[in-house]
């Protein structure tokens, strides 16, 4: 392994990202089975998605529509006529031992996505977005690695087989230099935001709705050729995308600096240790024997339909970011941090749910970002919704809790104790502003601190802080500090004028 910065002094990285998006259509790509996540194994299946002899596929029109909308949102051209193709290879979780995909006739091609990285815009060119079907899911039982080698036996669940996927492939991204890991991360984040805005997928990386393969190669600095690439499969969080790129840059650099050749291969990403390990060797000569799927007729979306779909697109992401920044009154830095944290959509939804922009930003980027970081998950994977965050802020605004108590409300919601109001109730977190209870506590504090009380009576109002602290301690923090102060001054006859 070579130090990351040192590696980038010697080499130029080229990135390539292949992102698979599982669509949220009601049914599968080529049959009428439900495409819902989960279900008892092998219950969402039929002759077609099990690949039984004689079965035939029928294209899901809704999936084609989603594919076109994704293509349009990525500024792609939409094919006037394209076909599905068979990608032939043997694997137990592939019911037909070929995947029905698209090869040289993708539904969408030649587009781009502008991504913001630390205030700088990188244009990521999209080579293609094509439709395909997912495979089944194998579980390898026994053995130590959870991989097929060394397993005692394997179980296959075909519920996932045939779920529609859109694979979005970038052109090689060059020139990012030291920012390559950030560009990779930002691309996946902003692509996910776009997919969510389109409403075509749940886009949850932890559930595999959105899966990224990271291709990386290094070339000697200044060279205009691309080096040999590795393909790191199924990198399933934004952080991991960034880390995997960093890791592969260091790994490639060490190999090349030692005068060795990088092996073209697929690699596995290990979330726990932050490294990649060799998968199967893969060369460009790996032969999938693609040919047009003879059981399907070509997809030929009319120009009119494509234009209709263009009309359903959400706002362009770059324009939208500018608009939101202006509306929210965020500084450039605040906006950049929000986007960088993958929190733009979350903050937006929180504001829509009623929170003030700065409050929404504050919770997501400090309190919740800290917790996500501690748990090693994405912000969006935390068990809290923007609506819940907005409600907690509303409780603060209403004076029902203070910031400190609000943190305990977050604890409760994240622990699955229910909605914010229920957590406040169950944990007894509401601020006490009832003068009876407070008054007694103030009396206790005055009695216990006669010296301080005397100073206040003598006009040293600043000394009130000590008494407030004592009251708050007695009330276990659940008191309105402003009201406590008023009561103390009132009782000691030291009004502030």
Partner 1 sequence: MSDLTRRSAAELAAALADGETSSVALTRAHLDRIAAVDGAVHAYLHVDAEGALAAARESDERRARGESASRLDGVPIAVKDVLTTVGMPTTCGSRILEGWVPPYDATVVARLRAGGLPLLGKTNMDEFAMGSSTEHSAYGPTHNPWDLERIPGGSGGGSAAAVSAFAAPLALGTDTGGSIRQPAAVTGSVGVKPTYGGISRYGLVAMANSLDQVGPVTRTVLDAALLHELIGGHDPLDSTSIDQPVPDVVGAAEQGATGDLRGLRVGVVKELTGEGYQAGVQQRFDETVALLVEAGAEVVEVSCPHFVHALAAYYLIMPSEASSNLARFDAMRYGLRVEPEGVEAPSAEEVMRATRDAGFGDEVKRRIILGTYALSSGYYDAYYGRAQQIRTLISRDFAAAFEQADVLVSPTAPTTAFKLGEKLDDPLAMYLNDLATIPANLAGVPGISVPAGLADGLPVGFQVLAPALADDRVYRVGAAVETALTGRWGGPLLDQAPALPTTEVAR
Q: Which residues contact partner 1 by CB under 8 A?
A: 47, 50-59, 86, 88, 90, 92, 95-98, 148, 152, 154, 156, 285, 287, 289-291, 294-297
| Inter-residue contact 46 to 75 (CB < 8 Å) | no
Contacts of 375 (CB under 8 A, 6+ apart): 382
Sign of CA dihedral 345, 349, 350, 351: positive
31 binds Zn ion, rule: CB under 5 A: yes
Give the nearest distance from C-beta 45 to Zn ion in angstroms: 5
Give the nearest distance from C-beta 32 to Zn ion in angstroms: 7
Q: Which stretch binds Zn ion (CB under 5 A): 41-49, 201-209, 225-233, 239-247?
A: 41-49
Nearer to partner 1, 158 or 187 (CB): 158
Q: Tokens 């004076």 belong to which residue?
A: 399
| 49 interacts with, out of partner 1, Zn ion, none, CB within 5 to 8 A per kind | Zn ion
| 148 interacts with, out of Zn ion, partner 1, none, CB within 5 to 8 A per kind | partner 1
The burial of 369, by beta-carbon neighbours within 10 Å (0-12 exposed, 13-18 middle, 19 or more buried), is given as middle
Nearer to partner 1, 295 or 443 (CB): 295
Query: Cα 155 from chain centroid?
Result: 29
Nearer to partner 1, 1 or 148 (CB): 148
| 33 interacts with, out of Zn ion, partner 1, none, CB within 5 to 8 A per kind | Zn ion
The site for Zn ion, by CB under 5 A, has a size of 5
| 255 interacts with, out of Zn ion, partner 1, none, CB within 5 to 8 A per kind | none
Nearer to partner 1, 149 or 225 (CB): 149
34 binds Zn ion, rule: CB under 5 A: no
| 416 interacts with, out of Zn ion, partner 1, none, CB within 5 to 8 A per kind | none
Looking at beta carbons, which pairs linking 149-153 to residues 24 or more positions away fall under 8 Å? Answer: none
- What is the full DSSP assignment across 280-320? EE--TT-----EE-TTSPPB---HHHHHHHHTTPPPPHHHH
Residues 46-65 that bind Zn ion (CB under 5 A): 46, 48-49
Give the nearest distance from C-beta 299 to partner 1 in angstroms: 10
Give the nearest distance from C-beta 78 to partner 1 in angstroms: 21
The burial of 297, by beta-carbon neighbours within 10 Å (0-12 exposed, 13-18 middle, 19 or more buried), is given as exposed
d(CA 267, CA 279): 5
Find, among 251, 209, 350, 228, the residue nearest to 2 by Cα.
Answer: 251
| Inter-residue contact 110 to 76 (CB < 8 Å) | yes
| 398 interacts with, out of Zn ion, partner 1, none, CB within 5 to 8 A per kind | none
DSSP-assigned beta bridge partners for residue 125: 112
Q: Which stretch binds Zn ion (CB under 5 A): 38-46, 140-148, 307-315, 389-397?
A: 38-46
Residues in contact with Zn ion by the rule CB under 5 A? 31, 33, 46, 48-49
């Amino acid at each position: 392994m070579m130090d990351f910065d040192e590696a980038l002094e010697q080499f130029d990285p080229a990135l390539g990202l292949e992102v698979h998006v599982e669509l949220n259509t009601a049914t599968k790509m080529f049959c009428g089975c439900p495409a819902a996540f989960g279900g008892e194994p092998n219950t969402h299946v039929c002759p077609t998605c099990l690949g039984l002899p004689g079965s035939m596929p029928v294209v899901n029109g809704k999936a084609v529509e989603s594919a076109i909308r994704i293509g349009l949102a990525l500024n792609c051209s939409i094919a006037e006529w394209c076909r599905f193709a068979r990608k032939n290879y043997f694997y137990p979780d592939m019911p037909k031992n070929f995947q029905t995909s698209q090869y040289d006739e993708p539904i969408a091609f030649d587009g781009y996505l502008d991504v913001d990285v630390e205030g700088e815009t990188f244009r990521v060119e999209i080579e293609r977005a094509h439709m395909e079907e997912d495979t089944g899911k194998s579980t390898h039982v026994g053995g130590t690695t959870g991989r097929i080698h060394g397993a005692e036996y394997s179980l296959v669940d075909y519920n996932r087989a045939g779920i529609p996927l859109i694979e979005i492939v970038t052109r090689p991204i060059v020139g990012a230099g030291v920012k390559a890991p950030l560009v990779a991360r930002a691309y996946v984040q902003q692509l996910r935001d776009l997919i969510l805005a389109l409403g075509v997928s749940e886009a949850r990386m932890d559930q595999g709705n959105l899966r990224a393969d990271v291709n990386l190669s290094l070339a000697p600095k200044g060279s205009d050729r691309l080096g040999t690439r590795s393909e790191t499969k199924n990198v399933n969080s934004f952080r991991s995308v960034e880390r995997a790129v960093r890791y592969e840059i260091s790994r490639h650099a060490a190999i090349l600096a030692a005068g060795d050749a990088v092996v073209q291969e697929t690699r596995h990403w290990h979330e726990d240790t932050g490294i990649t390990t060799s998968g199967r060797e893969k060369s460009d000569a790996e032969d999938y024997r693609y040919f047009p799927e003879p059981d399907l007729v070509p997809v030929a979306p009319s120009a009119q339909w494509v234009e209709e779909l263009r009309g359903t697109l959400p706002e362009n992401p770059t324009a939208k970011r500018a608009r939101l920044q202006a509306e929210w009154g965020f500084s450039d830095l605040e906006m950049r941090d929000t986007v960088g944290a993958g929190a733009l959509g979350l903050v937006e939804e929180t504001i829509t749910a009623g929170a003030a922009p700065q409050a929404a930003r504050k919770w997501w980027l400090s309190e919740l970002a800290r917790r996500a970081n501690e748990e090693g998950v994405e912000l969006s994977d935390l068990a809290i919704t923007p609506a819940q965050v907005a409600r907690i802020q509303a409780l603060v605004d209403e004076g029902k809790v203070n910031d400190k108590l609000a943190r305990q409300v977050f604890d409760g919601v994240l622990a699955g104790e229910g909605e914010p109001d229920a957590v406040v109730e169950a944990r007894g977190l509401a601020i006490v502003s009832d003068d009876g209870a407070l008054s007694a506590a103030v009396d206790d504090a005055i009695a216990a601190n006669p010296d301080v009380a005397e100073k206040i009576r003598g006009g040293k109002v600043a000394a009130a802080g000590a008494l407030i602290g004592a009251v708050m301690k007695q009330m276990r923090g659940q008191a309105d500090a402003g009201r406590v102060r008023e009561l103390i001054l009132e009782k000691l006859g030291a009004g502030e004028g």
